[in-house]
Amino acid sequence: MSVEDSTVVYVAVSILVLGVTSLYAALILWSPPPIITREGEKKYRSKLSPSKYLPLPSINDPAQVDLSVIIPAYNETERLPDMLTTTIKHLESLKKSRSYELLIVDDGSSDGTPDFMLKLAINEYPGSDIRIVQLERNLGKGGAVRHGMLHGRGKRLLMVDADGASRFEDLELLWKNIDELESSEDAPAIAVGSRAHLVKTEAVVKRSVLRNILMYGLHTVLRVVGVGHIRDTQCGFKLFNRPAARLVFPAQHITNWIFDVELLLLAKQLRIPVAEVPIEWHEVPGSKLNVMTASLQMLRDLLIMRGNQLFGRWKVAQGRPNGRT
């Protein structure tokens, strides 16, 4: 090698090292902080104990009811009451064969959502098993869902939005799909609601143009990230059996609205079967999502998620045969 050649190699290697180092630095800088669960957040109130906070169980404990319904709630005094009425009506109609609990996870609301919900639980729904859990600070929907999932008692655990956009009776469709996927009691399985069949129908045309463009953009990015096999990742209606929840939620890092994608990616990496099930949907006014900031945030967070996995900073849960660790 001549002197010039070695200089070229030296410069190229330096640039490469510098590039990787700054990428890694950016990754660390932009990664969301680890999710911290405070002591006060591991407790709940209910109609049986309206003023004394009682300890919540863990997802690793044995199940105590057939179904947990996890409702993340951020400033939801307006929308949640109606949603609760239809939800409880359906659950009560099946109560004889399926016991249930509702877990309302308040995401640090400032409009008094938790006390309001507790009052509602006592006065309007005395027959229902409703637990109110409070996050001390606003974490984002993904953080609230994760918290509820890690502290639910159900054999199966459903996450559902407080706005009532999904038709709650469609739970039965997800339920049947899990029945089919579950090869045994402790085999993990997931069924996710999907609005993909509604594309080009009235329900979607009514959404704003920007929202639709965002949706198509999202699909392209999702294919790159590795969850292109799921047509609708963002639907807020997803059912996990307990073994699946035990594997997926402890490995979750993202707490904003990209968390759905992380859950599906984790499911894929853990080889958990996922059924995508068409459900009814209607757009409900009162969404707090800003589409532009959300798309930029999405792009950044998907890259961060992939980067962290690539560098081995975020590990997929251990202990699953053939699963990546």
Ligand X SMILES: *[C@@H]1O[C@H](CO)[C@@H](O)[C@H](O)[C@H]1NC(C)=O
Ligand Y SMILES: Nc1nc2c(ncn2[C@@H]2O[C@H](COP(=O)(O)OP(=O)(O)OP(=O)(O)O)[C@@H](O)[C@H]2O)c(=O)[nH]1
The pair phi, psi for residue 13, each rounded to 5°, is: -65, -40
**Tokens standing for residue 111:** 């409009």
Angle at which helix 80-93 crosses helix 113-123, to 10 degrees, equals 40
CA 264 to each of CA 112, 217, 226: distance values in angstroms, whole numbers, following the listed order: 33, 18, 9
Of ligand Y, ligand X, none, which one sits near residue 111, judging by CB under 5 to 8 A according to partner kind?
ligand X
> What's the closest the beta carbon of residue 216 comes to ligand Y, in angstroms?
16
Task: Indicate whether 165 belongs to the interface with ligand Y (CB under 6 A).
Answer: yes
Residue in this structure with the two tokens 């089919």, named with its chain if needed: 180
Of ligand Y, ligand X, none, which one sits near residue 72, judging by CB under 5 to 8 A according to partner kind?
ligand Y
Of ligand Y, ligand X, none, which one sits near residue 110, judging by CB under 5 to 8 A according to partner kind?
ligand X
Of ligand Y, ligand X, none, which one sits near residue 76, judging by CB under 5 to 8 A according to partner kind?
ligand Y
Contact 69, 103 (CB under 8 A): yes
Contact 237, 276 (CB under 8 A): no
> What's the closest the beta carbon of residue 57 comes to ligand X, in angstroms?
30
Task: Indicate whether 75 belongs to the interface with ligand X (CB under 6 A).
Answer: yes
Q: 10 Å Cβ neighbour count for 285? A: 6
Q: Which stretch binds ligand Y (CB under 6 A): 15-23, 27-35, 68-76, 299-307?
A: 68-76
> What's the closest the beta carbon of residue 158 comes to ligand X, in angstroms?
25
Dihedral over Cα of 244, 254, 312, 228: its sign:
positive
Dihedral over Cα of 212, 213, 218, 220: its sign:
positive
> What's the closest the beta carbon of residue 109 comes to ligand Y, in angstroms?
8
**Tokens standing for residue 238:** 């997803």
Q: Residues 105-144 vs ligand X: string with x where CB under 6 A? A: -----xx---------------------------------
Closer to ligand X by Cβ: residue 119 or 223: 119
Q: State which of residues 45, 68, 69, 74 lies at the interface with ligand Y (CB under 6 A).
A: 74
Q: State which of residues 149, 162, 225, 245 lies at the interface with ligand Y (CB under 6 A).
A: 162
Q: State which of residues 288, 293, 321, 322 lies at the interface with ligand Y (CB under 6 A).
A: 288
Q: What beta strand segments (E) does 111-206 contain? A: 130-134, 154-159, 190-194
Task: Indicate whether 41 belongs to the interface with ligand Y (CB under 6 A).
Answer: no
Distance CA 308, CA 284 (A): 35
Distance CA 281, CA 163 (A): 11
The pair phi, psi for residue 85, each rounded to 5°, is: -60, -50
Closer to ligand X by Cβ: residue 75 or 166: 75
253 SS3 class? coil
Q: Residues 92-111 vs ligand X: string with x where CB under 6 A? A: ------------------xx
Task: Indicate whether 154 belongs to the interface with ligand Y (CB under 6 A).
Answer: no
Task: Indicate whether 161 belongs to the interface with ligand Y (CB under 6 A).
Answer: yes
Of ligand Y, ligand X, none, which one sits near residue 144, judging by CB under 5 to 8 A according to partner kind?
ligand Y
CA 204 to each of CA 91, 184, 196, 213: distance values in angstroms, whole numbers, following the listed order: 28, 38, 10, 12
Interface ranges with ligand X (CB under 6 A): 75, 110-111
Interface ranges with ligand Y (CB under 6 A): 72-74, 76, 107, 138, 140-141, 144, 161-163, 165, 236, 257, 287-289
